[in-house]
Amino acid sequence: MPKITTAVLQKMKQQGDKITMLTAYDASFAKLFAEQGVDVLLIGDSLGMVLQGHSDTLPVTTADIAYHTRAVRAGAPDAFVIADMPFMSYATPEQAMQNATPLMQAGANMVKLEGGDFLLPTIKALTERGVPVCGHLGLTPQSVHLFGGFKVQGKTAEKADAMVRQALALQEAGAQLLVMECIPQPLAERITQALTIPVIGIGAGNVTDGQVLVMHDLLGISSGYIPKFSKNYLAQTGDIRSAITTYVSEVKAGIFPAKEHSFQ
């Protein structure tokens, strides 16, 4: 399998080859995911919920993400690895540069930041200094208290137009990848077609350039709430390796997410 880089991901978008992404937090699962053909591994701040037992992602620290990034890199030395920047670790460009440093040194190829217009100077500052950036729009879990819960975003024409504009602005500032979470499928399609960089969806339908899931949701072992956009591949296959390969093949074929996993 060729080494995945930002250039490879860009080419995959251009060729219509769907990108597969899963969260990973340790060496063993990172190795397994890489061996089964997952294109990108994300050290998500979701670890606050699925590993640490919190009700949201806010308590996660940069040190937590760096620790798990080192573990993932050790298990998958050739993987393309994205590290989430935790809540309030990038409130200013200076703070972002300071906190991105240990994540990149731990083995990340890219950092992911949630938000729109306020991030533009930060993305510019990071990319000018050699730190690749993945944006994140739609339902941004670090803003869950602002939204009043985990709710679908961009449902009105005005909010949809604003999100398209923000996506284009993030790309212009230097973002090389964009995650869109919990938005109506028509809006996801509009943004994917408007951008030249790859768009990865989670709860955004099968019209994006790729998909990401939290590994615990994919394996059906998340405690409590299982999102509408997730699918229990372990229940479907009965084997962890088969669950991963089935996820990869269904994303590549455009089978997942199906209509029942999407918001219309």
Q: Which residues are annotated as a binding site for Mg(2+)?
A: 45, 84, 114
Task: Measure Cα distances from 189 to 186, 194, 249 in Å.
Answer: 5, 9, 21
Q: Using CB atoms within 10 A of its CB, is residue 67 exposed (0-12), middle (13-18) or buried (19+)?
A: middle
Tokens describing residue 3 = 């080494």
Give the residue numbers of the binding site for 3-methyl-2-oxobutanoate. Answer: 45-46, 84, 112
Question: Which residue is it, tokens 């879990």?
Answer: 141
Handedness of CA 202, 206, 208, 211 (dihedral sign): positive
Contact 180, 206 (CB under 8 A): no
The active-site residue out of 181, 189, 250, 260 is: 181
Whether residue 181 lies in the annotated active site: yes
Q: Are 115 and 140 in contact (CB under 8 A)?
A: yes
Other Cβ atoms closer than 10 A to 254 = 13
Q: Could you list the residues known to form a binding site, using ranges.
A: 45-46, 84, 112, 114
Is residue 43 left, alpha or beta, with left meaning phi > 0 and alpha meaning psi from -120 to 50? beta
Contact 144, 158 (CB under 8 A): no
Q: Which residues are catalytic?
A: 181
